[in-house]
Structure 1
Amino acid sequence: MATLVTFHAHPDDECINTGGVMRKAADEGHRVVLVVATRGEHGEVSDGFLDDGEELWRRRVAETHAAAEILGVSRVEFLGYTDSGMMGEPTNDVPGSFWSAPVEEAAERLAAILAEESADILTVYDDFGGYGHPDHIQVHRVGNRAAELAGTPRVYQATVNSDHLREGMAALREQGADFGPPEDMKIGKPAALITAQVDVSAYLKHKRAAMRAHASQISEDSFFLAMPDEAFAFAFGTEWFIRDGEGPGITETDLLAGR
């Protein structure tokens, strides 16, 4: 059996990007560890959602643990950095923000967990962070460096198949759908750059339940939960990754296969 460590920027990223792979690994008897760089302090929340005096980060930490249980996670760790907000915002450069953290320092924190767990596999994000969020880009940088420090043998960059997404969203818009990301929003990587394609359709109920656990950020009328089951399966039934040295094209369909 192997140990899979998934590294994410904020609470809720884990279920969206790698929730299927996480639950699949757990069901197959592997150890799954979730590491989150920040506690999502700058997430948006609707008025009245939080209790009087409740801080958002506390709710998001609790939501992360609830989602982790659904996804079969054995250990949850937070690296202790602060959410940097969207690219270009003043919060990017606040001391303690993940974006402003020295890569080597943050990588050493993550590497200590990887070494303690004798991690076989680490997931990070692609070099664009999926959609350009500074904390996601930093996950790519810090995660890859941490794997070098800890000697973690296999690193997969979670991404979105932009060709697949564009095709699906075009079909939905033709049917009158009014949800989803803007057509001109840059997300993920083209299919030609992706080297791993994992079918997680058997775990869609777990992904959706984990998303619901993050109720402060993912409401029932959100893009993630409002879409019909068929559309959700198209969007989230496959998880996509890039592994350096693999390809061109899809060469892996199971991150835990051991090669």
Structure 2
Amino acid sequence: MSTLVCFHAHPDDEVFTTGGVMRLAADAGHRVVLVTATDGAHGEFPDGILTDGETLAERRRSELAESADVLGVSRVVMLHYLDSGMAGTPENGNPDAFCNADVEDAAGKLAAVLNEENADVLTIYDPNGGYGHPDHIAVHVVGLRAAEIAGTKHVYETTTNRDHMRALVEANPNWSEENSPPDMESFGLPESEITTIIDVGSVMDAKRRAMQAHATQIGDFGPFLDMPLDMLQTAFGLEWFRRVGGGPGLTETELPL
């Protein structure tokens, strides 16, 4: 049995780029560990969804636990940094926000988990964090350093196939601008840089149920939850990665677990 550790910025991030891989790994008998850097306290959420006295951070922790259960996660670890908010927002300036965390300190916390779990594979984000979110960029930097400290050999950057997404948007003219990537030229990575493509179509039901678990984040998932299965497969049936340190070569169809 191998151990897969997926490092993400906020609760709900785990679903988009690694939800299928986590479920597939768990189904194959591997141990899956999910680490989130922040509590997602600065995310947007629908009015009236929280109960009296409940904070968004509390709700998102419970949503994360439900999603993790659906995806076969054996252990959830939260590093308890503050959510940095979207790029350009006032929250970016908070010295306690994850985007301002001391890299060595944060990497040491993640490395401790990697060592405890004897991790075989670590997933992080690409250098732009997928789409430029400060916390996602910090996950990339901190994750790389943690892997160095812990000696984790197999590190993969989760990403989105920019060319695939561009074609998908162009083929769906009814999609609103708010549901399209903010800047296609910096969104994800071009197909030529992707080393690993995982077909997760067989676990799409679990991936959809994990989306549904994050009820406060319906703004992120809403456009996709009611999609017919074939459309959902087109949008989310593949998960893309770039192997850190990997050069040109044959495209991998599985992680080294």
Secondary structure of the corresponding residue to residue 217 of structure 2 = coil
Aligned-residue CA RMSD in angstroms? 1.6
Secondary structure of the corresponding residue to residue 45 of structure 1 = coil
Residue in structure 2 matched with residue 181 of structure 1 by the alignment: 180
Once the two structures are TM-superposed, the CA of residue 53 in structure 1 deviates from its matched residue by: 1.6
**Is the contact made by 1:17 and 1:159 (CA closer than 8 Å) also made in structure 2?**
yes
Residue in structure 2 matched with residue 147 of structure 1 by the alignment: 147
Structure 2 residue 228 is matched with structure 1 residue 228: yes
Higher helix share: 2
Change (3 A) 1:229 1:219: farther
Residue in structure 2 matched with residue 82 of structure 1 by the alignment: 82
Change (3 A) 1:158 1:220: closer
Residue in structure 2 matched with residue 172 of structure 1 by the alignment: 172
Change (3 A) 1:147 1:24: same
**Is the contact made by 2:87 and 2:134 (CA closer than 8 Å) also made in structure 1?**
yes
**Is the contact made by 2:154 and 2:256 (CA closer than 8 Å) also made in structure 1?**
no
Residue in structure 1 matched with residue 113 of structure 2 by the alignment: 113
* Unpaired stretches in structure 1, ≥5 consecutive residues: none
Secondary structure of the corresponding residue to residue 76 of structure 2 = strand
Residue in structure 2 matched with residue 104 of structure 1 by the alignment: 104
Once the two structures are TM-superposed, the CA of residue 220 in structure 1 deviates from its matched residue by: 9.3
**Percent same amino acid among aligned pairs?**
56
Change (3 A) 1:184 1:101: closer
Once the two structures are TM-superposed, the CA of residue 245 in structure 1 deviates from its matched residue by: 2.9
Residue in structure 1 matched with residue 124 of structure 2 by the alignment: 124
Change (3 A) 1:143 1:221: closer
**Is the contact made by 2:45 and 2:219 (CA closer than 8 Å) also made in structure 1?**
no
Distance in 1 (alpha carbons) for counterparts of 2:41 and 2:143:
21
Residue in structure 1 matched with residue 92 of structure 2 by the alignment: 92
Secondary structure of the corresponding residue to residue 35 of structure 1 = strand
* CA deviation vs aligned residue, 1:223-259 (integer Å, no higher than 9, x gap): 33243322211111000000123242653110135xx
Change (3 A) 1:248 1:79: same
Tell me the amino acid that sits aligned with residue 180 of structure 2.
P
* CA deviation vs aligned residue, 1:96-121 (integer Å, no higher than 9, x gap): 21001011110000000000000000
Tell me the amino acid that sits aligned with residue 57 of structure 1.
A
Distance in 1 (alpha carbons) for counterparts of 2:17 and 2:218:
14
* TM-score normalised to structure 2 length: 0.95
Structure 2 residue 22 is matched with structure 1 residue 26: no
**Is the contact made by 1:25 and 1:256 (CA closer than 8 Å) also made in structure 2?**
no
* Unpaired stretches in structure 2, ≥5 consecutive residues: none
**Is the contact made by 1:192 and 1:249 (CA closer than 8 Å) also made in structure 2?**
no
Once the two structures are TM-superposed, the CA of residue 171 in structure 1 deviates from its matched residue by: 1.0
